[in-house]
Structure 1
Amino acid sequence: MKLSTWCICLLVVALSSGLSSRVNASDEPTHVAVAAYEFPPYYSSRLERHVLGALLDAVNQRQQTFYFEIIEVRPPHRYQALEPEGCCQLIFFEAEQWGWSSYIGTHVEKGPKLTEGADIHVLRAEEDTSEVSNDADGAARVGGIVGYHYDFVDYQSDVAVLEQEHNLYLADSHVTLINMLSRGRLHSILLNTELLAMLELHDPDVAKTLKAGKTVDQTYATHVLVADDAVVNVDWLRGQLDEMWEDGSLAELFASFGLENHLVYDPSPANVQAASPQ
């Protein structure tokens, strides 16, 4: 082979390799960071399987445009995570009353409603549920989670105020609260109804040690919140959820956590119109 012919062959191979690498690179899905914090059963690093992980796995398998990955943050830091300089682009299962009012409509868009739930006072199974009240006078030690917002303390989240003025014990996990309740170190703890439903299905031995009080602290509806500068938008996410709803996989996923009665996602045109920005 002549030297000139050999050089041309090398050039063609090089160009082909470069084109191939660019094509392969363009085929790679865009990574999307999803903020998550300790909020079982929706997300918990202490659970082998949680709702958010199962949902994102399903979406990742259904398409190749985006790859969603979870970035764990502490509850008080989830707002900064969605700011323009933040680490994440969206967050699932959030309620506007949990400190999001000033963010929605400024640099965060609220997506469709996903679930409904409540925070309730929970006691040991042998306790009298009639003794629980929502008075924030420090008469009985109540356990909650750092960074959470509770109605009976006017949605304050300042740790010092909650601990000193309202005698609220704040833990980093629901596991800690349940353990302290079982040992009699707390009179009652605040748990969400979705967690109780999951425990009844997957950990009935623990569920039997707990008794739901008659006092509901707050009810809420959760949504997906998307940062304005995110590479993915609410309409695209709604399209994925609509497909999962239509083929039954969305209901099946939530039922696997015992949350079939909490899923309220509505793919109807009326829901799309209501969730669209005005």
Structure 2
Amino acid sequence: MTNIRHCGHTWLILLLTILLLPGLSARTQAEDDIKAHKTPPQRVRVGVYPFSPFAEYDDQGQLRGMAQRLIAILNQHQQQLTFEAVPVSPKRRYQAYLNQDVDAFLYENMKWGWARRNIDIRASQPYQSGGELYIAQAAPGRDQRFFEQLQQRHLVGILGYHYGFAGYNSDETFLRDNYQITLTWDNQKVLDLLQRGHGDVALMSEAYWQRFVQQNPAKASQFLVSEKYDQHYSHSILIRPQLLGQHQLDNLVREITRRRDFRQLILDYGISPHQ
């Protein structure tokens, strides 16, 4: 009799196990499916054009400068988006965006052609300040008056950049028709042309000039730097509106600018946070 009861209990346990096992397996499988199908971060292609020291490319075409480090900070801070750099030229950055080859830009400003072209792109609150200076070679008797009549000077600037003296019109035909100007590709080439006497006044980002002086203090006295600026500007993140709402974008900027690695970044380059 005891054996019969024991066998009965055993069969009951086996029956319950058989009945419950599919439910347990289904729940485990559902949990595995959720984990396996977790929404991956959305890819954001950041258009990066040479803009020293914010974005520079080495001889192997590898991105260097502040943009590289800011992209790393953005990726470390959040998991919703994955930012990656895509090389573009400053002149063709608008078309690259319209063609959906890129989705965002760092160290950018709506005044630099975006608003005038009425392009649908969202700008974050500013996170960094900067400006463009006039640089000339020092010479006996040369002082700040040298920068007063720019139309009488041979200028050296960068193709695709928007300068205050020209009303932010970056069209190279307009610039060459109205000014004596040589347009090249980056700040280092601008400075090289000035030093070789291929121009009278170079236009250069304050950030690049500060770094040049830090790295070459003995050469600073060879140049005359304007006290007035060609322009003051603020930097924002520009991004495709479908990727982030305005509130999300501004929150992201607020969060990253509070981070120690961002503060170290601007300190390393002698840059000013947004004032």
The TM-score with structure 1 as length reference comes to 0.76
Contact 2:73 2:262 in 1 (8 A): no
2:178 equivalent among 143, 165, 175: 165
**C-alpha distance in 2, partners of 1:136/1:55?**
35
Q: How does 1:243-258 map to 2 (within 5 A)?
A: 243-258=255-270
User: 1:226 and 1:206 mapped to 2: Cα distance?
Assistant: 39
- Distance in structure 1 (CA, Å) of the matches to 2:82 and 2:219: 35
For 1:245 and 1:140, how far apart are their aligned partners in 2?
A: 40
Mapping 1:212-251, distance limit 5 Å? 212-229=225-242, 231-251=243-263
- Match in the other structure for 2:42: 30
Give the aligned residue type for 2:101.
Answer: C
Q: 1:206, 1:26 → 2: CA distance? A: 56
Q: C-alpha offsets along residues 134-187 of structure 1, whole Å, 9 cap, x if unaligned? A: 5353x2211011011112222222212312431111111111111111112211
- Name whichever of 122-131 and 30-39 sits farther off: 122-131
Instruction: Note the C-alpha offset of 1:126.
Output: 4.4
Q: Once superposed, which parts of structure 1, at least 4 consecutive aligned residues long, lie more than 6 Å away? A: 19-22
Computing the radius of gyration from Cα coordinates, the structure with the larger value is 2
Aligned letter for 1:51? M
Q: Does structure 1 residue 79 correspond to structure 2 residue 88?
A: no
For structure 1, list consecutive stretches of 5 or more residues without a partner in the other structure. Answer: 1-11, 266-278
Q: Determine helix, strand or coil for the equivalent of 2:123.
A: strand
Counterpart CA distance in 2 for 1:156 and 1:64 is: 38
Contact 1:121 1:191 in 2 (8 A): yes
Q: SS of the residue aligned with 1:116?
A: strand
Aligned to 1:88: 102
CA distance in 2, matches of 1:28, 1:248: 27
2:147 is matched with: 133
8 Å CA contact 1:134–1:152 kept in 2: the answer is: no
Show structure 2 runs of 5+ residues with no match.
Answer: 1-24
Equivalents in 2 of 1:20, 1:63: separation in Å? 24
For 1:109-128, what per-residue CA distance to the aligned partner results, in whole angstroms no more than 9, with x for missing partners? Answer: 22101222221110124462
CA distance 1:133–1:200, shift in 2 (3 Å) = closer
AA matched with 1:54: R
| Rounded Cα–Cα distance in structure 1 between residues aligned with 2:148 and 2:174 | 17
- Distance (whole Å) between structure 1 residues aligned to residue 227 and residue 75 of structure 2: 41
**CA deviation string 1:5-63 (max 9, x = no partner):** xxxxxxx9xxx7xx969845636432111112111111121486311111111121233
| Partner Cα distance (2:265, 2:200) in 1 | 34
Does the C-alpha gap of structure 1 residues 245 and 129 become closer, same or farther in structure 2, counting only changes over 3 Å?
same
Q: How many residues align?
A: 245
Identity among equivalent pairs (%): 21
Tell me the residue number matched to 1:176: 189
Name the CA distance, whole Å, in 1 between partners of 2:130 and 2:102: 25
Q: Tell me how far apart the structure 2 counterparts of residues 79 and 51 of structure 1 sit (CA, whole Å).
A: 21
Aligned partners of 1:255 and 1:146: how far apart in 2?
28
Match of 1:186 in 2: 199
Alignment-mate amino acid for residue 183 of structure 1: R
Q: Is the 8 A contact 1:38 1:44 kept in 2?
A: yes
Q: Distance in 2 between matches of 1:247 and 1:60?
A: 13
Q: Rate the CA distance shift 1:133–1:202 in 2: closer, same or farther, 3 A.
A: closer
What CA distance in whole angstroms lies between the structure 2 residues aligned with 1:206 and 1:25?
A: 58
